[in-house]
């Protein structure tokens, strides 16, 4: 990067989640985003350690925690994590299932057989603090289901097939059998199930049940899919995402008097030529406020309807061969106020859900065995590990390694330079502390710092504390910092000081802190003509000048970007400086928060970096679905090095907060149609970041 660059002058009802428990689950942002990285445990850090023995005994999938409204801290419950604090038991009979599901103690209950309810229609009364999960695809509940009564909380039902209580007559009140019914429960997660052919409803969320998430389920072949309400009180908060609702006549869902109903990326399908004809799709009733986003409706009659007293705000939905009412109106809410989430492209929803909903064989022991196969190298400053420095562990990774090597770093401050060379792919550097602040890799080189061998200065890229040149790299649960002291080194030419530099493809940065001043995070590629994708989630980036920059195709998702004052106490800076090659994607900031203790209207969202004066570059930065503090200027983009930002690709979409603004010539906004092509999946292409 050119060395002259950067020379400038009353408690709410909801509390957003403070913890992240499982990779791959979209997680909530903190309500207290004014600090650089939250509490000692980290805003997205690990939850307080519960029982170490239970955590060690239970496989990784048993410790999964919910997203959506089920992840919100409220009513004395810190999100929804089910029975992870208890023993894991495997059941194959009705007696065993009922024994553990109704027990007072927490349990992870693995259903490893087909269990037939006796009598038909029996609904097991599940107690609090339970995870009920099918073993692979073998967990079937036939002829009945589950009931969660008043006050029952912290329940997860996953990976099960619940089916076949139908007795031959729909709406037969003598056979009012549901797959999952809750009356007055809270903090419930229903995920990756196949629910079908029951006598009444597949899911009933009744009588002020709240903080519920329903995700990645197939609901099919039934009269009533999914009912919500049955109360005059307006208290239910529910998230419904990535569900395939197929061949069901009504309640798809019907949502009555819900305070907040967030529906996104669902696929509602009425197949032509069958005996089932949908009477309606998504229904907002009573005083419900519904936010309906990026869902796909195929062949549905009356796909979206509302009462005169209810609200529906629609965004990005697709309707194919639908008939009848398709309504919206009123005001809804900003779901990001309560939790973070990422929308998939609407056009991708049918294929994505057809292959992804319902019980997954990999949710059970198969996935655990695969993950456990990774090689682990331990690092500890006190000598209790295999290595005392992170670089020594990197050096021990064999060149050309084909499988993942996890470098497990115990808490401590490691003042060293770390480089992962290009011939060592599949490396993970992971802190083992309870907070991402417990494990810190830090150094203080700057661009103008002389090299010890007298061969010149480091330059911007060479100043990085951690440099990654290998593909398929991951970093997790740690801090990477450059603590170069600008105030004490004003005579030094080149103040840029990089904390983390990546120059490779398929880089996954999960729940980390990257902090510095100028040029904190350099997201680059191995060469101008090489693709370099980076996905960063649930993380913090701290800096002041061009502190997210480079030519990579990079996503910053569900993260906090904290603005920092300059070395002399002034507030002035730029968040992004993309140097994107033509015909590539640049920097996408989505579902995030921008904050910091700086003056109002002093920071730009970004400017175009044409590295070396290269006019063939086409810098791109998009900031969307993000909360912007008042620090953001009303004209948020600016020129750089003689290149106009207006000739490159800079835009916003649906941002909120005091720093957001309306569309103008100086503040371009994407249309809804344009936004469907600028989502996280568009940036990542055929790569799905996973921990394995």
Q: Which residues pair with 500 in a beta bridge?
A: 466, 521
Radius of gyration, CA atoms only, the chain: 26
Phi/psi for 490 (5° steps) reads -65, -20
Count of H-run helices and E-run strands, the chain:
8, 53
User: What is the CB neighbour count within 10 angstroms for residue 53?
Assistant: 9
DSSP 646: G
For 518-570, give the DSSP string: BS-EEEE-SSTTS--EEEEES-EEEESEEEEEESSEEEEES-EEEE---TTS-
**Spatial contact of 207 and 184, defined as CB atoms under 8 Å apart:** yes
Q: In what order do the strands lie in the sheet with 210-215?
A: 87-91, 107-111, 130-134, 153-158, 186-191, 210-215, 236-241, 258-264, 289-293, 311-315
Catalytic residue among 256, 519, 625, 648: 519
Cβ atoms within 10 Å of 685's Cβ, excluding its own: 11
Chain CA centroid to CA 361, Å = 22
Q: Are 565 and 537 in contact (CB under 8 A)?
A: no
Q: Where are the alpha helices (DSSP H) in 388-444?
A: 390-396
Distance linking the first and last C-alpha atoms of the chain: 33
Q: Which residues contact 424 (CB under 8 A, 6 or more apart)?
A: 394, 397, 398, 399, 400, 401, 470
| Burial (CB count within 10 angstroms: exposed 0-12, middle 13-18, buried 19+), residue 368 | middle
Q: Catalytic annotation on 546?
A: yes
At residue 460, φ and ψ (nearest 5 deg) are -60, -55
Taking residue 315's Cβ as centre, other Cβ atoms within 10 Å add up to 17
Task: Supply the DSSP symbol for 97.
Answer: H
Catalytic residue flag (residue 73): no
Provide the token pair at 11.
């408690």
Helix intervals (H) in 373-514: 390-396, 459-462
Q: What is the DSSP letter of 85?
A: T
Residue 413 CB partners (closer than 8 Å, separation 6+): 381, 440, 442
Neighbours of 336 (CB within 10 A): 21
Length of the chain: 692
Tokens, residue 228: 């919500």
Q: Which token pair is 683?
A: 């940036």
SS3 content of the chain, % helix, strand, coil (to 5): 10, 35, 55
Of 194, 200, 204, 546, which residue is the catalytic one?
546
Compute the Cα dihedral for 16, 20, 26, 32 and give only its sign: positive
Tokens of 669: 């906004």
Q: From CA 302, how far away is CA 283, in angstroms rounded?
A: 9
The 3-class secondary structure across 257-315, one letter per residue, is CEEEEEEECCEEECCCCCCCCCCCCEEEECCCEEEEECCEEECCECCEEECCCCEEEEE
Question: Catalytic amino acids?
Answer: 519, 546
């Amino acid at each position: 990067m050119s060395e002259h660059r950067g020379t400038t002058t009353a408690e709410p009802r909801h509390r957003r989640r403070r913890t992240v428990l499982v990779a791959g689950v979209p997680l909530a942002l903190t309500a207290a985003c004014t600090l650089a990285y939250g509490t000692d445990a980290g805003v997205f850090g690990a939850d307080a350690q519960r029982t170490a023995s239970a955590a060690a005994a239970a496989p990784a999938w048993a410790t999964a925690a919910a997203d959506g409204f089920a992840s919100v801290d409220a009513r004395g419950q810190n999100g929804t994590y089910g029975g992870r604090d208890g023993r894991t038991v495997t059941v194959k009979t009705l007696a065993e299932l009922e024994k553990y599901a109704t027990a007072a103690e927490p349990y992870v209950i693995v259903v490893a057989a087909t269990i037939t309810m006796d009598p038909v229609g029996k609904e097991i009364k599940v107690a609090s603090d339970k995870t009920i999960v099918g073993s692979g695809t073998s967990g079937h509940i036939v002829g009945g289901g589950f009931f969660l009564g008043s006050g029952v909380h912290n329940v997860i039902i996953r990976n099960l097939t619940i089916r076949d209580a139908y007795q031959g007559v729909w709406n037969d009140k003598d056979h009012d059998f549901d797959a999952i019914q809750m009356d007055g429960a809270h903090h419930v997660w229903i995920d990756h199930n196949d629910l079908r052919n029951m006598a009444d409803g597949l899911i009933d969320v009744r009588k002020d049940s709240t903080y519920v998430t329903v995700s990645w389920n197939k609901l099919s072949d039934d009269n009533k899919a999914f009912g919500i309400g049955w109360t005059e009180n307006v208290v239910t908060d529910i998230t419904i995402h990535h569900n395939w609702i197929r061949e069901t006549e009504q309640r798809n869902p019907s949502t009555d008097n819900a305070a907040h109903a967030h529906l996104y990326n669902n696929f509602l399908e009425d197949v032509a030529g069958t005996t089932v004809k949908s009477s309606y799709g998504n229904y907002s009733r009573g005083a419900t406020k519904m936010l309906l986003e990026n869902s796909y409706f195929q062949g549905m009659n009356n796909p979206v309807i509302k009462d005169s007293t209810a609200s529906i705000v629609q965004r990005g939905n697709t309707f194919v061969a639908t008939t009848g009412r398709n309504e919206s109106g009123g005001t809804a809410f900003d779901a990001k106020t309560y939790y973070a989430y990422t929308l998939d492209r609407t056009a991708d929803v049918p294929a994505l859900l057809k292959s992804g909903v319902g019980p997954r064989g990999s949710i059970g022991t198969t996935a655990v065995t695969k993950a456990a196969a990774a090689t682990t190298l331990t690092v500890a400053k006190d000598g209790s590990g295999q290595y005392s420095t992170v670089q020594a562990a990197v050096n021990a990774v064999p060149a050309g390694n084909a499988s993942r090597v996890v470098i497990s770093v115990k808490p401590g401050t490691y003042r060293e330079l770390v480089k992962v060379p290009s011939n060592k792919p599949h490396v993970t550097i992971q802190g083992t502390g309870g907070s991402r602040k417990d494990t810190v890799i830090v150094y203080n080189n700057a661009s103008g710092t002389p090299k010890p061998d007298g061969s010149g200065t480091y330059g911007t890229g060479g100043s990085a504390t951690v440099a990654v040149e290998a593909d398929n790299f991951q970093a997790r649960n740690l801090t990477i910092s450059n603590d170069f002291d600008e105030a004490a080194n004003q005579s030094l030419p080149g103040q840029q000081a990089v904390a983390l530099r990546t120059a490779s493809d398929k880089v996954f940065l999960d729940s980390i802190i990257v902090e510095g001043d100028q040029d904190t995070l350099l997201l680059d590629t191995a060469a101008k003509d090489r693709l370099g994708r980076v996905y960063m989630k649930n993380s913090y980036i701290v800096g002041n000048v061009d502190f997210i920059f480079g030519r990579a195709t990079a996503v910053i998702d569900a993260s906090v970007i904290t603005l920092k004052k300059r070395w002399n106490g002034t507030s002035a800076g730029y968040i992004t400086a993309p140097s994107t090659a033509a015909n590539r994607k640049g920097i996408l900031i989505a579902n995030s928060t921008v904050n910091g203790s700086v003056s109002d209207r002093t920071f730009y969202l970004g400017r175009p970096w044409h590295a070396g004066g290269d006019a063939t570059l086409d810098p791109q930065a998009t900031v969307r679905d993000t909360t912007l503090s008042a620090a953001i200027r009303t004209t948020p983009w600016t020129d750089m090095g003689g290149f106009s930002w207006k000739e490159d690709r800079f835009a916003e979409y649906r941002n909120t907060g005091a720093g957001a603004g309306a569309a103008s010539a100086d503040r371009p906004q994407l249309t809804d149609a344009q936004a469907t092509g600028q989502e996280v999946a568009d940036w990542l292409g055929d790569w799905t970041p996973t921990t394995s």
